[in-house]
Structures are given as structure tokens and as C-alpha cells.
Amino acid sequence: MPSTEPEQTLAAAAARGEGALALLATVPRGLADLLAAELAALGAREVRERAGAVSFTGTLETAYRVCLESRLASRVLLEIARFEAADTDTFYACARAVPWCEHLAAGASLACDFSGRHPTLTHSHFGALKLKDAIADAQRAASGTRPNIVLDRPDVRVHAHAHEAAITLYIDLAGESLHRRGYRGEAGAAPLKENLAAGVLIRSLWPQCAAEGGSFLDPMCGSGTLVIEAALIATGRAPGLARTYFGFLGWRGHDAALWRQVRERARARCGAAPAGTPRLHGRDRDPAAVRAATANAERAGVAGWVQFAVGPLAQARPYGTGSGLVCTNPPYGARLADLEAARAVHRELGTVLREHFQGWSAAVLTGAPQLGMELGIRAARTHTLWNGAIECRLLRMRVEPASLRPPGTLARPDDSRADTPGARMFANRLAKNLKLLRRWAERESVTCYRLYDADMPEYAFAIDQYTLLDSGECWLYVQEYAAPREIPPEAARRRRGEVLASLPRVTGIARERIRVRTRRRTRGQDQYVKLREDGRAHRVGEGGLRFEVNFANYLDTGLFLDQRRTRARLRTAARGRHFLNLFAYTGTATVYAAAGGAATTTSVDLSRTYLDWARRNLALNRLQDGPHALIQADCREWLRAAQAAQARYDLIYLDPPTFSNSKRMQGVLDLQRDHALLIDLCMRVLAPGGLLVFSTNAQRFRLEPALEQRYAVHDISAATLPRDFARNPHIHRCFELRLR
């Protein structure tokens, strides 16, 4: 850590009251109004709401207080420069002209970020690299040394944001997102970010309830985030007290003495734990989750305020003699096996609230708004919040006779649904598809194929048929596209019931072999999120090869049917070649390449689960003893290392997810934004005369035009579209690229 002795900087002047710092705090969408009020209470001035952020001015002490005490902010950015830069060279020159010696000490570590839209800096990674070059060159000219580049917890993180040609440079005073309070050691499958949890509580009026002595309960607490954040609010404990890292600690404008004073005053405001039984409680049926929640509360410094217990939702009861707030984030469709299971959870929660929590307030955050009808309690207020990229609803209710209503009816695939006009129309279309595709499938020896893909927009389903190798049984994998908000929930339930009632009758496949999922946008979360643990693997055939599929545990089965012809092309091209499979998933392309006689195969994926799956797929085809490397790594970082090692591959298959923000990955992958960088990295390890096959399922994908100037590009999308996907020509885009 470099010296933090203050110098005569802008920040130091502001701390003495000689000037105001221009600051920006980012916040989860839907909470900007709450953050604006919080910032004003912390001493901020000129507070203005913006899209996903709040701008304000204040002293260095104000900035420190926001970093330490804000329950809602994600980052706190200090503006240090503004300029116009219509092209890359001007951006570099203006960024280099900033007096970086006021911000970075010699030998300090540095990270750079870039966001926004710019005429020439069209890729965030490239923009960040140009910013880094400008700072490093300026530092070398001033001090003879360049900063060390460190992505994780650098001494100083600099952020550039572009609005067309207008550029703003910031020092990231948080360094990393402030939702990372420092107390969460373990989390469940779908943890709620801490600042979003605090926003839910503040929006639900928990601070007022806590001040009046009210109790708190989360009956499905998971790792305890809502309970712990509620305790931090009740105790007046600053949420950042458990953090050991902030972005300003290595910044030259940092005032260590002032920071100590801010921390000491915040500690002095913490309330003492009450005597007797705590009034904040969390319950969960998973003992491991309760153990994690207990440990998290200890690290957060609120163990004396909270109590966790193992128990099912149905047995949740009020604690104490007064009223309080029940606040929870129940699982919804994308986090359970299917929407039916999510409905059952919401209905059970509603029963518990109506029967045992009369006189209490309730706040339920759900990512599937139609599930609120299952609670049987009329919401007094509904708020839209965003959990990453997932649009959620916060339902605020008062549990009292006037707010109760009959729960929404659960759509069941009963036979009577099959006799409605809509069901007959759907059944006719499905029967027609089945007749045509069955002949084609038998002729082409295809055993897994798509029967229906939203052929009629009002019945928005994708239906795939899988024939198992061992038993010859047929299974249906049904994906329901989440209905848009303008479709009434009752209409969506009715259509779903008509589809599910028609499927057994038309296909002859028993209901117990039909699996249903709800497909919604996965932006902001890992593409291949796990849903449950108890699904059994099955074996299917494709192209004379054998693959393991799973109909229960994941949003996808492990075999992307639309890439069938792409895999066949890879097998033909692989003979005698060194094959590289990036974002390998379950290794199906690797199996094809190995079966085609590849000299070696290398499969890279960030998930150990999917690499193990790929290993099983190789073993199913008796290919496990060949020269096949399975590597767990971030593909971008691995490609850079491979280039440095001068590795070369004759055939590369690149099929990235459309979006991923996995915690195991550096940064966020946005394919439309980042595909040119990925392709450039691949071409640097492509052998002369080699071939890169790039595929994507991004629905509105556009290939960066500059790539066609650098490489020989051939669009093979139409040639790789299988017959069963011909009704949706946009299902994927596929390109072959070669070095010129």
C-alpha cells in the first residue's frame, strides 16, 4: 500500500471546506428516490436523481460517510475531470493530461473501467485499456514508474463514462460494490444483494416499525441477508463497518485521520444488544442455510439481535406478543423446478400469513409478479425493483380481514382444458408439426428435436421431444416463454393449462414424462443457473454419439438442439486438427470433434459442474482416454495466457453465453459488446490456415463491421439451421472466420 500522506489536492481542499466535491452514487434500479433521501441525511448537498444513480456534492467527510453508512448505494464516484473527446486519440490525450500524481502514488496499483456509448470507443474493454495507457504513460513521464495493474482490490480504481463525445473521469471511492458489506461468508443459490435487501426493508417501512419496537421475521431466510440488514437498521449500525477495503484507502487524497474520526463516530452510534429474546428472527428448512445465516450475523456484529431456527414455512409463527413485519424473498419460477412449484410456495406463504399473522405487515419480493395472486392478500402498495436485470415486484400488505381475498386458482392440466377452442387450435398445429417432423426425424435418424416453437404467438412455448437410448421412452421438455406484462395473468394460466392438457393426448407421452420450465430473460444472472438437486440424468443419441441430458436440474438440458448441424460440421473439419472449445458447457462439440479424429481437444469453461458433465459425455463415447484437456478457467483470461505461451489451434469453436456476471469471472460478459474482443483473442491463437467457428443465440446480434475488414468472414447461419428450427431463423447466428 503506498503512502497515504495527504497532499495539496482537490480532495484535501474540499475536506478543509475550500471546495465541494462532485460525487455520484450508483444504486439498484427502483431505489434512487430512497438513496436521494439517505444522502441528504448524510450531509450531501445539491442532490439530484439520475437513471440508476444520484448525483450530489459534499466534503470529503460526506464522501466517507456515504461509503461507510449508506445502506443503498452500490458505488461512490468522485468526479475528477470532464472533457470532450470525439475520437480515441483525443480521449487518450485528454486523459493523460489529468494530474494523476494528485491521485496515484508511485508504485500504486491501478484498475480502469469504461462505460457508456462513444463514437469510436465502442468496446468497454478497449476504452479501459486506453484509459490505463494514458494514466500509465502520464505516471511514467512524471515519476519514471508505471502503476501496477491489479483487477481485484487495487489501490486506485478509475472509471471513465462516455455520453457520446462527453467524457467524465471518476475515482471509485468504494473500490468494489458497497453491497459487499464484508459479513457474508456463505450464500444460497440465489442470494439477494445486501443493498437491495436494505432497500426492500426501507421501502417496507421497517425503520419506523423497528423504532416502535416491532418484531421481524423472514420465514425463508436463506443465508439471512434480510434479517441481518433489518438488524443493522434496528441497531443503527453502519453497514460498512465490517468492510476491510475501500477504494479511497490507496488514493493520495485520502485523509486517514478524518477517516478514523468518521469510523469512530459511526461505531459510537451502534445500539447495544437488548436483554432477553431477540425480536428479529429468520427461519429456513435448510440446516446449512441456517448455519450460514448464524455465522453471517456474527460477522456483521448483530448476533445478539437476531435468532435463526430450522423449520418449514408451514410452521412459521409470530414471535413475541406484539405485531411486526414479515419480509421475505420467496423462490420464483427461475429459482425452482418450474412455475407450479413457485405457485405452491407462494400459496403456502399466503396461508401462513392469513391464519397466523393477523395485524402484522408483510412485504414480499417476487420476480414473477403473477405469483402475488396466490398469496390471497390484497397488496396496499406495489413497487417495481430490479434484482440485477430481473424485474421484481415488492408487494406491501397489511394482514387484516379487509385485505384478504381468495387465492388465485392454480392452473392444472385437466382434460377439460383440451376441449376449449384455443386448445383445439393448438393441438391441430402440434399434430401437424409432429406428423411432418416425425417422418423427417426417422429418415435422418434424429431422436431429439423441436416439435413446436411459439408457432402461434398466443401459445408461447418451445416443445422438444427426446427419445432415450436405454429405454426408447419419449420425453417432452416444455419451455414456457414468460408472458409480457400486458397479458392478464389469468389468460396466461388458461393458455398454459390448454397446452399441458393437449400434450399427452396429441403426442401419446404420459404426463410424468413431461417437464415444464418458464423461460425468462437471464441477463444479470448466470446463464446456466442450477434449479434443484434431485433430477436424474438420461442418455440420448445424436449423430451416432451418446450424450447425457438432464430434464430437472437446469434451465437447459445439456444438449442445444439448434446446434446439431454446427456440431456435425465441426466433426468433419476436426480430423487431424488441434481443436479448442471455448465456453464448452457440457462438451458436446468436443465429443463431435474427438469422434471426427481431432489430434487433440481442449475444452475451457468456468464451471466445474459442466466440465465434469463433459468428461462423462466423453466417457459415454469411449473417448475419455484420448488427448482431451478439460480446463476450468475464465475463457478471456485463459486466451490471453494461451497467447503468451504461443499456443496454436487449427479449429476453434466459440459459443459464449449472451450475458454472464458469474462471481467466478472477472467483470461482466456482454456478448454484443464484447464479441469483437473475444474473436480477436481467438484469432491470436488460431494457427495459419485455421478456422474459427463463432456461434451465438443472441436474438438481436449484429457482427461488428470492423471484424470483416480484419478477417475473412463467412455467415453460415442458414447452413447450420436444422429443419426442426426452420420456423425460427433467428434461433442462432453462426460465422466462420479465417485469418487473411
Residues 332 and 374 in one domain: yes
Residue ending a domain, choose from 467, 496, 519: 519
Residues 290 and 425 in one domain: no
Residues 167 and 91 sit within 8 Å (Cβ to Cβ):
yes
Residues 128 and 207 in one domain: no
| Cβ atoms < 10 Å from Cβ of 34 | 18
Domain count, the chain: 4
| Burial status of residue 128 (CB atoms within 10 A of its CB: 0-12, 13-18, 19 or more) | buried
Residue ending a domain, choose from 347, 374, 403: 403
Residues 367 and 467 in one domain: no
**C-alpha dihedral, 244 to 248 to 249 to 254, nearest 10°:** -140
In a domain, 254, yes or no: no
**Cβ partners under 8 Å of residue 201, min gap 6:** 207, 226, 229, 230, 233, 327, 363
Confidence category of residue 343, pLDDT binned at 50, 70, 90: confident
d(CA 446, CA 437): 10
Q: How many distinct helices (H) and strands (E) make up the chain? A: 19, 30
Whole-number pLDDT of residue 713: 96
Residues 309 and 373 in one domain: yes
d(CA 556, CA 575): 29
Domain of 304: which CATH number? 3.40.50.150
Please provide the average confidence, as pLDDT, over all residues in the chain.
88
Distances (CA, A) of 88 to 85, 138, 170, 303: 7, 16, 18, 52
In terms of Cα–Cα distance, which of 157, 161, 191 is closest to 177?
A: 157
Whole-number pLDDT of residue 11: 45
Distances (CA, A) of 725 to 159, 561, 660, 728: 43, 9, 25, 6
In a domain, 125, yes or no: yes
In terms of Cα–Cα distance, which of 569, 558, 589, 562 is closest to 723?
A: 562
Q: ∠411-413-417 over CA atoms, to 5°?
A: 90
Decide: pTM greater than 0.75: no
Tell me the β-bridge partners of 429: none
Residue ending a domain, choose from 353, 371, 403: 403
Q: Where are the beta strands (DSSP E) in 332-389?
A: 361-366, 381-387
Confidence category of residue 519, pLDDT binned at 50, 70, 90: low
Confidence category of residue 276, pLDDT binned at 50, 70, 90: low
| Mean pLDDT, range 498-508, rounded to an integer | 89
**C-alpha dihedral, 178 to 196 to 303 to 292, nearest 10°:** -90
Please give the residue that has the higher pLDDT: either 152 or 4.
152
Residue 151, C-alpha cell as written in the block = 483487477
In a domain, 547, yes or no: no
Whole-number pLDDT of residue 482: 75
Residues 52 and 29 sit within 8 Å (Cβ to Cβ):
yes
Bridge-based pairing state of the strands 628-632 and 600-605: parallel
Residue 251, C-alpha cell as written in the block = 488514493
Q: Which of 200-214, 400-414, 665-679 has the least mean pLDDT? A: 400-414
d(CA 75, CA 691): 43
Whole-number pLDDT of residue 273: 67
In terms of Cα–Cα distance, which of 582, 563, 574, 570 is closest to 684?
A: 582
- Determine the longest span between alpha carbons in the chain, in angstroms: 82
Exposed e or buried b per residue across 624-646, where buried means at least 16 C-beta atoms within 10 angstroms of its C-beta: eeeebebebbbbbebbeebeeee
d(CA 626, CA 619): 10
301-322 per-position pLDDT tens digit? 999 999 999 999 999 999 877 8
Whole-number pLDDT of residue 336: 42
177 φ, ψ (degrees, to nearest 5): -55, 135
Domain boundaries, position 441: 415-519
CA 290 to chain centre: 24
Percent of the chain scoring above 90 in pLDDT: 66
Whole-number pLDDT of residue 340: 67
pLDDT surpassing 50 at residue 522? no
d(CA 121, CA 545): 45
The residue whose grid cell reads 475463457 is 635
Bridge-based pairing state of the strands 21-26 and 53-58: antiparallel
If DSSP codes are grouped into helix, strand and coil, which group holds residue 28? coil
Q: Which of 14-23, 150-159, 161-170, 246-255 has the least mean pLDDT? A: 14-23
DSSP class of residue 404 equals: B
In a domain, 271, yes or no: no
In a domain, 182, yes or no: no
Domain of 41: which CATH number? 3.30.2130.30
553-592 per-position pLDDT tens digit? 777 899 999 999 999 999 999 999 999 999 999 999 999 9
Distances (CA, A) of 517 to 58, 334, 395, 547: 50, 8, 24, 21
DSSP class of residue 318 equals: -
| Burial status of residue 614 (CB atoms within 10 A of its CB: 0-12, 13-18, 19 or more) | buried
Residue 135, C-alpha cell as written in the block = 494514466
462 φ, ψ (degrees, to nearest 5): -115, 125
Radius of gyration of the chain, Cα coordinates, nearest whole angstrom: 28
If DSSP codes are grouped into helix, strand and coil, which group holds residue 215? strand
Confidence category of residue 511, pLDDT binned at 50, 70, 90: confident
Whole-number pLDDT of residue 350: 93
Residues 291 and 349 in one domain: yes
| Mean pLDDT, range 351-372, rounded to an integer | 89
Q: Which of 43-52, 420-429, 604-613, 662-671 has the least mean pLDDT? A: 662-671
d(CA 501, CA 459): 13
| Mean pLDDT, range 243-271, rounded to an integer | 94
In a domain, 449, yes or no: yes
Whole-number pLDDT of residue 419: 75
Distances (CA, A) of 474 to 465, 480, 490, 509, 581: 7, 19, 31, 7, 30
DSSP class of residue 623 equals: -
167-177 per-position pLDDT tens digit? 999 999 999 99
Residues 399 and 419 in one domain: no
In a domain, 729, yes or no: yes
Confidence category of residue 3, pLDDT binned at 50, 70, 90: very low
Distances (CA, A) of 629 to 105, 120, 191, 581, 591: 43, 39, 33, 10, 12
Residues 131 and 96 sit within 8 Å (Cβ to Cβ):
no
Residue 350, C-alpha cell as written in the block = 399466503
| Burial status of residue 576 (CB atoms within 10 A of its CB: 0-12, 13-18, 19 or more) | exposed
d(CA 132, CA 124): 12
Residues 322 and 214 sit within 8 Å (Cβ to Cβ):
yes
Q: Which of 176-180, 536-540, 693-697 has the least mean pLDDT? A: 536-540
In a domain, 245, yes or no: no
Residues 371 and 464 in one domain: no
In terms of Cα–Cα distance, which of 550, 728, 727, 732 is closest to 657?
A: 732
In terms of Cα–Cα distance, which of 324, 392, 385 is closest to 199?
A: 385
Q: Where are the beta strands (DSSP E) in 674-729?
A: 686-696, 711-715
7-61 per-position pLDDT tens digit? 334 444 444 344 689 999 999 988 999 999 999 999 999 999 987 899 999 999 9
The residue whose grid cell reads 421497517 is 206
Residues 163 and 282 in one domain: no
Run of H or E including 670: strand 669-670
d(CA 226, CA 634): 31
Confidence category of residue 677, pLDDT binned at 50, 70, 90: very high
Residues 425 and 568 in one domain: no
Confidence category of residue 535, pLDDT binned at 50, 70, 90: low
Residues 589 and 731 in one domain: yes
Residues 155 and 60 in one domain: yes
610 φ, ψ (degrees, to nearest 5): -75, -30
d(CA 714, CA 520): 31
**84-98, 273-287, 659-673, range with greatest mean pLDDT:** 84-98
